[in-house]
């Protein structure tokens, strides 16, 4: 009696997304197996515990071998050892460079050095993220920073070109690199209510308007460094609060434009001079490195907290700042 056995041989590298996520999250093989068992996979597939253990170990070995290629994503695309469809390659890269917001908030603005890396044990305990995952995320931040710090051109474009990240993730990494380069303080208690998304939004606007690249597209490190001449020019704003007549005129222009449009108009009118002094003082001190680092702390203390105490809605804050800026430009002829 003869029996037939069909055999299929292929060389496509199989990627289990769930196991990949467990590996990225820093779980050991044993912990990953336990979590897979808890998910009900044995009942769903009819596999034995031994097969599940072997399957998990096999995937982990594959991910470890792929990791050196993930450190330089274009190599993953051009290598011939692992046959991985382009869509899977993109998934591997995107998820490898993804990060936890709780983690990035702990290191945002800090120097990406060995000193900060020593704090990862404490960050892991505080956030509940495994130490292995913390190390991967930190090393990714540092790797991207090292690759793009000396490059000309758009920071986002450079990151996308060399790490093949999606536009959104590349923009997030640009914010991380920008904050690390300029060492902005983000860890103070009064800044804890701000999310990474809040800081990333600010970083994008600052890169577009405050950096060397905003003035000269041929300047080295164009999106990394703040334009010193621009910061020096901000010192001229001091006249807005030093000259009483100009201060009164500025207030009059803003109040005339916003009358009937602000829900907190009375509060704004009464507190205009203090708010203006706060904004101008923050701007005129940015020629000093320490004051650059404390930019967000100073803005919260001198502008955000006074507005919050008077219960300003966000829409009124936006209206005020837009009109405040527009009125400054209209005062050029009086200065």
Q: Which of the 8 DSSP states describes residue 164?
A: -
Q: What are phi and psi of 138, to 5 degrees?
A: -65, -45
Do residues 331 and 240 make contact, with C-beta atoms less than 8 angstroms apart? yes
pLDDT, residue 212, reads: 80
As a whole number of angstroms, the distance between CA 197 and CA 205 comes to 13
- Assign 28 to helix, strand or coil: coil
pLDDT by residue (tens digit) across 188-229?
999 999 999 999 999 999 999 998 876 555 555 467 889 999
Low-confidence ranges of the chain (pLDDT < 70): 1-3, 5-10, 214-222, 333-335
CA atoms within 13 A on the CB side of 103: 25
Q: Within 13 Å of residue 78, how many CA atoms lie on the same side as its CB?
A: 5
Given 3-state DSSP classes, what are the helix, strand and coil percentages for the chain, each rounded to the nearest 5? 70, 0, 30
* Token pair in block for residue 315: 């829409």
| pLDDT score, position 215 | 56
Distances (CA, A) of 253 to 106, 143, 269, 324: 42, 49, 11, 9
What pLDDT is recorded for position 200?
A: 97
Cα–Cα dist 32/36, whole Å: 6
Going by C-alpha positions, the residue among 12, 10, 15 that lies closest to residue 94 is: 15
Burial class (CB in 10 A: 0-12, 13-18, 19+), 216: exposed
Q: What pLDDT does 213 receive?
A: 73
DSSP 219: S
Q: Please give the pLDDT value at position 12.
A: 82
Q: Which pLDDT score, from 0 to 100, does residue 181 have?
A: 94
Token pair recorded at residue 185: 């303080």
Structure token pair of residue 105: 């908030």
Give the pair of three-digit tokens for residue 170.
């590349």
CB distance 24 to 136 below 8 Å: yes
Give the torsion sign (CA, 53, 59, 62, 66).
negative
Instruction: Tell me the C-alpha distance between 183 and 110, whole Å.
Output: 6
Which residues are paired to 226 by β-bridges? 211
Mean pLDDT of the chain: 92
Residue 162: exposed, middle, or buried by beta-carbon count in 10 A (0-12, 13-18, 19+)? middle
**What is the per-residue pLDDT for 124?**
97
pLDDT attached to residue 1: 53
C-alpha to C-alpha distance for 264 and 125, rounded to whole angstroms? 43
- Whole-number pLDDT of residue 150: 86
pLDDT at 224: 83
The DSSP output letter for 14 is: P
H helix runs in 46-185, sequence order: 49-70, 73-78, 86-97, 101-107, 114-117, 120-127, 131-148, 155-163, 167-182
Residue 83 dihedral angles phi and psi, to the nearest 5° = -85, 100
Distance between CA atoms of residues 197 and 316, nearest Å: 21
C-alpha angle with apex 305: 304 to 310, nearest 5 degrees? 100
pTM: predicted TM-score of the whole model, two decimal places: 0.90
pLDDT digits (tens, 9 = 90+) for 244-283: 999 999 999 999 999 999 999 999 999 999 999 999 999 9
């Amino acid at each position: 009696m003869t029996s037939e056995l069909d055999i299929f041989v292929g060389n496509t590298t199989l990627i289990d997304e769930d196991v990949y996520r467990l590996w990225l999250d820093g779980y050991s093989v044993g912990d990953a197996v336990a979590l897979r068992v808890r998910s009900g996979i044995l009942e769903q597939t009819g596999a034995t515990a031994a097969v599940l253990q072997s399957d998990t170990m096999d995937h982990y070995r594959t991910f470890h071998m792929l990791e050196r290629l993930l450190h330089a994503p274009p190599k993953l695309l051009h290598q011939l050892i692992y046959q991985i469809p382009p869509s899977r390659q993109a998934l591997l890269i995107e998820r490898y460079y993804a990060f936890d917001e709780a983690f990035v908030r702990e290191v945002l603005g800090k120097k990406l050095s060995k000193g900060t890396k020593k704090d990862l044990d404490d960050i892991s305990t505080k956030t509940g993220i495994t130490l292995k995952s913390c190390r991967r995320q930190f090393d990714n931040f540092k790797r991207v920073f090292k690759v793009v710090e000396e490059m000309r051109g758009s920071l986002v474009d450079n990151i996308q070109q060399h790490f093949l990240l999606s536009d959104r993730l590349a923009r997030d990494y640009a914010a991380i690199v920008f904050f690390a380069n300029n060492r902005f303080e983000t860890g103070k208690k009064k800044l804890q209510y701000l999310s990474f998304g809040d800081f990333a939004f600010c970083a994008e606007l600052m890169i577009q308007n405050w950096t060397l690249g905003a003035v000269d597209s041929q300047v080295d490190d164009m999106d990394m460094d703040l334009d010193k001449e621009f910061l020096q020019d901000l010192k001229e704003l001091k006249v807005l609060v030093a000259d009483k007549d100009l201060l009164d005129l500025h207030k009059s222009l803003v109040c005339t434009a916003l009358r009937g449009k602000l829900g907190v108009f009375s509060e704004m009118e009464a507190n205009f001079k203090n708010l203006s002094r706060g904004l101008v003082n923050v701007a005129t001190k940015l020629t000093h490195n320490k004051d650059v680092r404390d930019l967000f702390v100073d803005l919260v203390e001198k502008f955000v907290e006074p507005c919050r105490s008077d219960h300003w809605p966000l829409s009124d804050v936006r209206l005020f700042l837009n009109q405040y800026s527009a009125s400054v430009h209209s005062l050029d002829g009086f200065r």
